[in-house]
Amino acid sequence: MGRMEGKIAVVTGVGSGLGKAIAEMWAEEGAKIIGADFNADNGQATIDGINAKGGEATFVQANLRVKADVEKIKEVAVAKYGTITTLANCAGVLVHKPFLEHNDDDYAFIDETNFRAYIWMMQAFLPLMTKENSHGKNSIMNIASISSIKPETYAYYYGAFKAGIDLMTRNLTREFSPLGVRLNVICPGPVTTAMTPKEVLESPEIQADMCKNVCSIGRLGEPKDIAYAATYLCSDEATWVTGAHFVIDGGACMMG
């Protein structure tokens, strides 16, 4: 307990999946949470759960595809705490279909949610995080995907933009690590989230069959598997870790 004590963390996608797991774990470890999500009911439920367990968390309903909503998250954080120490960009969407069926709407949807929103969030909060050099105690953690490094059929746009997040994050370390902000990337493999097809979530048999082909460890990942890594990367245990590219995939990239 206490690994995130003193941290003021903004977490996007807090209503489900990786964002929810990270926000809950960080709150348990002592962080104060500002959680954002497009889905007001799910997002507020996560925040209410954290507060019910004695944590400190605030919810902001926000569409990250709208720049004014990103500024709203910043305004709430500044009004409540004056600054932040930690940013976790977890919100994301997946469009999964044959390449010739992709259209401009698909492209815009993935670009605006999985790439542009990350840029806007970092541009909003980095000025706060660099006001005083924290010598690595302030950090940004961006969620990419193994789709950015391992070809996946029908995930063309998704993989391309996740690769962009991966490289951009590591490039930004050149500019911002000397100012005290570390930036790291997590590339999750097959983790059960809201984007996982319902028939997979509800069938242990399908999951077991999938593992034979996609994971060398005999189970699909859970959001907490990613939250453990995110906690390390954004805690003071990792003040000398920046530009890291953590692949957490149950061995999926080793399966060919």
Residues with a known catalytic role: 158
Q: Token pair for residue 109?
A: 């949807």
Q: DSSP per residue over 147-211, as a string?
A: GGTS--TT-HHHHHHHHHHHHHHHHHHHHHGGGTEEEEEEEE-SB-STTS-HHHHT-HHHHHHHH
Measuring CA to CA, how many Å separate 121 from each of 28, 127, 190?
Answer: 24, 11, 26
Q: What angle do CA 113, 115, 116 make, to 5 degrees?
A: 80
Residue 60 sits at φ, ψ, to 5 deg, of -125, 120
- Check residue 221 and report its DSSP letter: B
